[in-house]
């Protein structure tokens, strides 16, 4: 009898647990173009393949001379039709002095996933993103990598 009670007590957390999550590494690339001075639109490849857009909510001076911080709101829809939601994030652009109009770009604190629709409903995680901006041609090319934790029912 004691063995049954001990077994039930040990199993109880698993029997009554609600949602659990499973985390997966993700990675790929992003290629976008400026639509105007305040927004971009393009494609993502890799684990989160689909369409990506950014609304630039504002800018501020960066941490080094000539650098600029972009305060961004992201929009991402996967090829499967799911939407990924993100917390607003800051991207810092560093000029390349030898190549006017070319910038190195990094999301120094990453980009935080806050949920979404479909398989991203209740998802969490973060992406590290870096790349380059060709301001002369209005083009941005980035790499992303990180982790997405999906909600799943037991």
Q: How confident is the model at residue 21 (pLDDT cuts 50, 70, 90)?
A: confident
pLDDT over threshold 70, residue 19: no
Quick one: average pLDDT of 15-38?
84
**Considering the domain boundaries, does residue 8 fall inside one?**
no
Rounded Cα distance between 100 and 103, Å, is 8
Question: pLDDT (tens digit, 9 = 90+) per residue, 30-77?
Answer: 999 999 999 999 999 999 999 999 999 999 999 999 999 999 999 999
Q: What is the CATH number of the domain that holds 123?
A: 2.40.350
Q: Is 146 inside a domain boundary? A: yes
Quick check: is 89 in a domain?
Answer: yes
- Cβ(142)–Cβ(30) below 8 Å: yes
Residue 140 resides in a domain: yes
What is the C-alpha to C-alpha distance for residues 31 and 129, in angstroms, rounded to an integer? 12
Q: Is residue 63 situated within a structural domain? A: yes
Position 14 in a domain = no
Contact 21, 152 (CB under 8 A): yes
Closest CA to 121 of 66, 82, 79, 76: 82
**pTM (2 d.p.):** 0.84
- Residue 106 pLDDT more than 50? yes
* Percent above pLDDT 70 for the chain: 86
Dist CA 72 CA 137 (whole Å): 20
Structural domain including 104 reads: 20-153
Note whether 151 and 21 are within 8 A (CB): yes
Quick one: average pLDDT of 134-153? 94
Task: Tell me how many domains the chain contains.
Answer: 1
User: Is 11 among the domain residues?
Assistant: no
Average pLDDT, rounded, for the chain: 90
């Amino acid at each position: 009898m004691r063995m049954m009670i001990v077994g039930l007590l040990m199993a109880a957390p698993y029997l009554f647990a609600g949602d659990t999550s499973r985390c997966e590494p993700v990675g790929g690339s992003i290629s976008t173009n400026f639509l105007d001075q305040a927004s971009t639109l393009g494609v993502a490849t890799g684990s989160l393949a689909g369409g990506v857009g950014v609304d630039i909510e504002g800018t501020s001076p960066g941490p080094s001379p000539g650098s600029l911080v972009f305060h961004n709101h992201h929009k991402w829809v996967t090829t499967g039709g799911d939407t990924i939601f993100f917390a607003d994030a800051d991207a810092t652009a560093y000029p390349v002095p030898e190549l006017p109009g070319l910038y190195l770009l990094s999301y120094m604190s990453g980009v935080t996933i806050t949920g979404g629709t479909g398989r991203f409903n209740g998802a969490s995680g973060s992406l590290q993103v870096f790349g380059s901006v060709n301001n002369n041609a209005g083009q941005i090319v980035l790499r992303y990598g990180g982790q997405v934790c999906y909600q799943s029912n037991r």
